[in-house]
Amino acid sequence: MLTPVVRTLLLLNVGLYLITASGIDLIGRFGLYSFLSPAFAPHQLITHMFLHAGFMHLFSNMLGLFFFGPMLERVWGNKRFTIFYLITGIGAGLLFAGINYFEASQLRDAVAAFQSNPSPQSLEVFLADRGLLVQGDDFLRVFEDNPTDPSYIRGAIQLVNRYYDQQLGIPMVGASGAIFGILMAFGLLFPNTELFLLFPPIPIKAKYLVTFYGAYELYSGIYRAQSDNVAHFAHIGGMLFAFILVKYWGKQRNNFY
């Protein structure tokens, strides 16, 4: 049976997705942008967690909320569960934004270094370091044949600047951080509860599932593929803040009694 806060969250997320799907650009305004982006605004640390990029993105997150959220809300009550959901979601955004700031700062420095020495060799290094180098690229090949041509130098600088702007212009959205927080809390509070997986169709205790997900997200975040657009560090952030909250609330209760 759905609990009040979980029901409200489900309706809110689905409603905002339908608005986005109708063509209204909520993600462009309320998604979480890089701290270095001119589009960043503080409210995005909250609003990003109620938006989703596609139906399957929404479905997977709401499925986790539907299955695991009600039990936590019954244990904690409406108020504490709401606080938990918001803090883990914001914490996920903060960790993601912090990692992104570090990566974007490195990219900004690489762009500045290229601008100070816009040669075919430095362009090749810039592209190769980001997995963007395509053998036989027409522009790079012609630039190598005309390394002092002002038009190709300007074109190379524009290419690098455009890539930097594109990276800063990609917002992060989704409730995944809060959902992974819920999963972590469930594993901590009900560690020996057996969950039946769909793929593969086997039972597994909650504590082992949480451990697997945490290890997988950490590995995927560190060794992220160029084509991977999943915010793994947001998932880790949600789990980390959930762990801290559950342990803190547990300590408070023990001290009280």
Structure tokens at 137: 């690229």
Which pLDDT score is estimated for 136?
61
Q: Which residues contact 233 (CB under 8 A, 6 or more apart)?
A: 95, 96, 99, 217, 221
pLDDT at 199: 64
Q: Token pair 């455009």 is at which residue?
A: 162
Neighbours of 152 (CB within 10 A): 20
pLDDT category, 71, cuts 50, 70, 90? very high
Nearest to 222 by CA among 235, 239, 209: 235
Which pLDDT band, with edges at 50, 70 and 90, does 256 fall under?
very low
On whether the pTM is more than 0.95, the answer is no
In the predicted model, what is the mean pLDDT of residues 157-168? Answer: 95
Across the range 7-32, mean pLDDT stands at 97
Percent of the chain topping pLDDT 70: 91
Give the model's pLDDT for residue 253: 64
Mean pLDDT of 195-219: 78
Residue with tokens 């697997």: 212
